[in-house]
Amino acid sequence: MMIVTSSTIANKRIVKTLGLVRGNTVRARHIGRDILANLRNIVGGEVHEYAKLIAEAREQSLDRMAAEAEELGANAVITTRFTTSVLMGGAAELLAIGTAVVVEDV
C-alpha cells in the first residue's frame, strides 16, 4: 500500500477514487514515562519517552487507515494528513486521514 501526502504519485495514474479513509488511536500517558519525562524536563533535551509514544501512535493510525483502504479495494492512499486532539488529561487521539485510490503505472 503506497501512502503519500501529495495528491499525485509519480509514474502512476489514478484510475478510481474510492473515498475518505481514516485510522485513529487513543493513547494515554504512562506514569513511568511521566516520571522519566519530568526528570528529563529538568535537565533539558528531547523527551524520548513521549517521542516513542507518538511514533507508535502514528504507525498504528497509518496501519488502521491502510487496512480501511484495502477493504475498499485501494492500492494507494493520497493526500494523507494527521491531526491530534486531547480527549482528557493524559490521553490524546492521533488521527490519520486520506483518500483511498486505485492507481496503475503510466
What average pLDDT is seen over the chain?
87
The whole-number average pLDDT for the span 14-34 is 84
Residue carrying the nine cell digits 479495494: 73
How confident is residue 4, by pLDDT bands cut at 50, 70 and 90?
very high
Provide the residue range defining the domain that includes 30.
2-105
pLDDT at 33 over 60: no
Task: Indicate if the pLDDT at residue 67 is higher than 90.
Answer: yes
| Three cell numbers written together for 30 | 504512562
Number of domains in the chain: 1
pLDDT score of 39: 63
Specify the CATH number for the domain of residue 82.
3.30.110.70
- Mean pLDDT for 84-103 is 88
Q: Is the pLDDT of residue 35 over 70?
A: no
